[in-house]
């Protein structure tokens, strides 16, 4: 470990522990390795990384970082470039807005693409496996932080062995929305930031090409380069082709009916096809034909939750990452991208450490927080607001929303669906957070007390 004056080891030889091997954890490990760190340990509760999940949007701000990490090319091979988006009334397919996205690459250096979560996570994992600096400890969870500084330590809990203590110079907690480290940190600083129930849930569905081939209208959807969103009161569906157009990915948001009695127990459950069809019973025949193709027993439902903004992501030499500190609703399609932005900034900030002194490590982690926190929470709030706008029922507010859609379609202007709005895209896609961290580190580091 580092001595009191920080002279015992080079910065790049710091012992860094990453808790969790999801998107954020894998990206953290790979970012650190690419910055030249040589001793990176990843602790993961699962016995292996058998990646599952549905589609994911690969926005330019995410692609830019993945390219620098050396994994974008293989991800893009299976991705589908999105050239347009259509926002429609769920009931009658009336198009509220149409947005041309064919110029995204020219504007931001990378196209807006969509892919499969397993491809993104899998390539991050392959990238990590190619780095000698990264060691994985599977079937080993983190039970509690025992010490926060000089050096920080935690209790590692192997699945089939006795718990043991792990010490490190830096601990990065990418342990998700149910983060045990976040809970410990908030308790330690006498703060309360409870998980907020959005009272919504999501169906996530993947239909294979052969299931759609009999229906020309559905086949057109999977053959397109389009994101389609069907909206209705308190509900919407968003869908697009992934995996070289071999899979049509469908995600929804609707009132939570299955999780209400167990608010702190579970985030996923087996859904009912009958219940799903009932939720969207008044949507168009095309949408209902699409949903009816889902095999019985393959309907899965996710609870959508966020938590109140935290006062800090850093305590001692321990920092929170990704969903552990800024979980978001999916309406802006930035969840994974924001976790990867965290990882990129952490790599930059820790690589710029002037010494291995604990106080310098703390300051560098605070710079990470300063670069990332406002942007992350702004996008969390925008996603929440966008969801509210999409789910309006009949009344004045909906009339005003639909008027805004019409004006944007006819003359340009702000879109109520914030993900599709050009100004929002410029703010999200156009920000090079890696470069921002490099440019601002020295000034921010000097200002942190």
Mark whether 302 and 345 lie in a shared domain: no
Distance separating alpha carbons of residues 128 and 123, to the nearest angstrom: 8
Q: Look at residue 5 and tell me whether its pLDDT is greater than 60.
A: no
pTM of the full predicted structure? Answer: 0.94
Q: Look at residue 261 and tell me whether its pLDDT is greater than 60.
A: no
- Report residue 177: phi and psi, to 5°: -65, -25
User: What is the chain's mean pLDDT, rounded?
Assistant: 92
Contact (Cβ atoms closer than 8 angstroms) between residue 267 and residue 303: yes
Mark whether 233 and 272 lie in a shared domain: yes
Which region among 8-22, 65-79, 401-415 has the lowest average model confidence (pLDDT)? 401-415
Mark whether 217 and 205 lie in a shared domain: yes
Contact (Cβ atoms closer than 8 angstroms) between residue 30 and residue 128: yes
Q: Which residue has the tokens 């071999």?
A: 246
Indicate whether 257 belongs to any domain: yes
Indicate whether 407 belongs to any domain: no
> Between 126 and 5, where is the model more confident?
126
Which region among 47-61, 102-116, 197-211 has the lowest average model confidence (pLDDT)? 47-61
Indicate whether 398 belongs to any domain: no
Mark whether 160 and 20 lie in a shared domain: yes
C-alpha Rg value of the chain to the nearest Å: 22
* Alpha-carbon 34 to chain mean position: 21
Buried b (16+ CB within 10 A) or exposed e, 397-407: ebeebbebbee
Which of 306, 337, 357 terminates a domain? The answer is 306
Distance separating alpha carbons of residues 426 and 362, to the nearest angstrom: 32
Q: Which residue has the tokens 């991705």?
A: 79
Burial of residue 409 (number of CB atoms within 10 Å: 0-12, 13-18, 19+)? middle
Which region among 268-272, 333-337, 367-371 has the lowest average model confidence (pLDDT)? 268-272
Mark whether 322 and 387 lie in a shared domain: yes
pLDDT at 63: 98
Indicate whether 2 belongs to any domain: no
H/E element, 58: strand 55-58
Helices and strands (DSSP H and E) totals, the chain: 15, 20
Distance separating alpha carbons of residues 193 and 191, to the nearest angstrom: 7
CATH number at residue 379: 3.50.50.60
Indicate whether 113 belongs to any domain: yes
Indicate whether 413 belongs to any domain: no
Does residue 228 come out as left (phi exceeding 0), alpha (psi in the -120 to 50 range) or beta? beta
Indicate whether 92 belongs to any domain: no
Arithmetic mean of pLDDT, 144-160: 95
Mark whether 171 and 47 lie in a shared domain: yes
CATH number at residue 261: 3.30.9.30
Domain count along the chain: 2
> Between 261 and 27, where is the model more confident?
27
DSSP notation for 227-288: EEEEEETTEEEEEEEETTTTEEEEEEEEE--SSTT-TTT-SEEEPPHHHHHHHTTTS-HHHH
Which region among 97-106, 261-270, 302-311, 385-394 has the lowest average model confidence (pLDDT)? 261-270
Mark whether 140 and 235 lie in a shared domain: no
Q: Look at residue 373 and tell me whether its pLDDT is greater than 90.
A: yes
Which of 270, 290, 306 terminates a domain? The answer is 306
Which of 255, 271, 306 terminates a domain? The answer is 306
- 269: containing domain: 198-306
Share of the chain above pLDDT 70, in %: 94
User: pLDDT tier at 244 (50, 70, 90 boundaries)?
Assistant: very high
Q: Look at residue 262 and tell me whether its pLDDT is greater than 50.
A: no
Mark whether 74 and 210 lie in a shared domain: no
Arithmetic mean of pLDDT, 44-73: 90
Mark whether 180 and 44 lie in a shared domain: yes
Give me 179's structure tokens: 């983060």
Contact (Cβ atoms closer than 8 angstroms) between residue 88 and residue 230: yes
Indicate whether 157 belongs to any domain: yes
Mark whether 284 and 346 lie in a shared domain: no
Q: Mind listing the pLDDT tens digit for each residue in 305-327?
A: 888 899 999 999 999 999 999 99
Mark whether 160 and 53 lie in a shared domain: yes
Arithmetic mean of pLDDT, 152-170: 96
Which region among 45-59, 111-125, 261-275, 399-413 has the lowest average model confidence (pLDDT)? 261-275
Q: Look at residue 109 and tell me whether its pLDDT is greater than 60.
A: yes
> Between 377 and 143, where is the model more confident?
377
Distance separating alpha carbons of residues 62 and 110, to the nearest angstrom: 9
Mark whether 154 and 205 lie in a shared domain: no
């Amino acid at each position: 470990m580092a001595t009191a004056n920080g002279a015992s080891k080079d910065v790049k030889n710091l012992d860094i522990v990453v808790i969790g091997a999801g998107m954020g954890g894998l990206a953290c490990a790979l970012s650190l390795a690419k910055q030249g760190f040589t001793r990176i340990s990843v602790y993961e509760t699962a016995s292996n990384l058998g990646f599952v999940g549905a589609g994911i949007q690969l926005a330019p701000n995410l692609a830019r970082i993945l390219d620098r990490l050396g994994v974008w090319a293989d991800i893009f091979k299976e991705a589908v470039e999105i050239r347009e988006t259509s926002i429609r009334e769920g009931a009658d397919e009336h198009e509220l807005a149409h947005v041309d996205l064919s110029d995204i690459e020219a504007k931001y250096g990378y196209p807006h693409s969509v892919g499969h979560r397993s491809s993104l996570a899998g390539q991050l994992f392959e990238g990590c496996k190619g780095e000698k600096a990264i060691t994985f400890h599977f079937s080993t969870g983190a039970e509690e932080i025992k010490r926060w500084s000089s050096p920080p330590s935690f209790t590692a809990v192997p699945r089939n062995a006795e718990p043991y203590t792990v010490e490190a110079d830096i601990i990065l907690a990418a342990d998700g929305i149910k983060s045990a480290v976040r809970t410990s940190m908030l308790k330690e600083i006498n703060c309360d930031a409870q998980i907020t129930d959005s009272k919504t849930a999501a169906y996530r569905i993947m239909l294979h090409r052969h299931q759609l081939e009999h229906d020309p209208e559905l086949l057109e959807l999977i053959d397109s380069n389009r994101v389609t969103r069907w909206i209705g009161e308190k509900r919407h569906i968003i869908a697009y082709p992934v995996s070289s157009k071999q899979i049509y990915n469908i995600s929804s948001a609707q009132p939570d009916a299955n999780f209400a009695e167990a608010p702190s127990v579970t985030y996923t459950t087996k859904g009912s096809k009958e219940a799903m069809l009932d939720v969207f019973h008044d949507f168009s025949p095309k949408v209902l034909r699409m949903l009816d193709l889902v095999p019985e027993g393959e309907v899965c439902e996710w609870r959508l939750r966020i938590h109140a903004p935290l006062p800090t992501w850093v305590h001692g030499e321990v920092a929170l990452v990704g969903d552990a500190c800024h979980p978001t609703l999916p309406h802006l399609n930035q969840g994974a991208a924001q976790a990867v932005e965290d990882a990129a900034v952490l790599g930059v900030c820790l690589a710029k450490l002037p010494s291995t002194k604990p106080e310098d490590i703390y300051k560098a982690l605070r710079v990470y927080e300063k670069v990332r926190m406002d942007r992350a929470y702004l996008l969390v709030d925008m996603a929440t607001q966008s969801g509210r706008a999409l789910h309006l029922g009949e009344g004045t507010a909906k009339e005003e929303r639909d008027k805004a859609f019409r004006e944007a379609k006819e003359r340009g202007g702000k879109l109520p669906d914030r993900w599709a709005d050009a100004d929002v895209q410029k703010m999200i896609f156009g920000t090079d957070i890696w470069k921002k961290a490099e440019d601002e580190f020295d000034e921010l580091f000097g200002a942190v007390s």
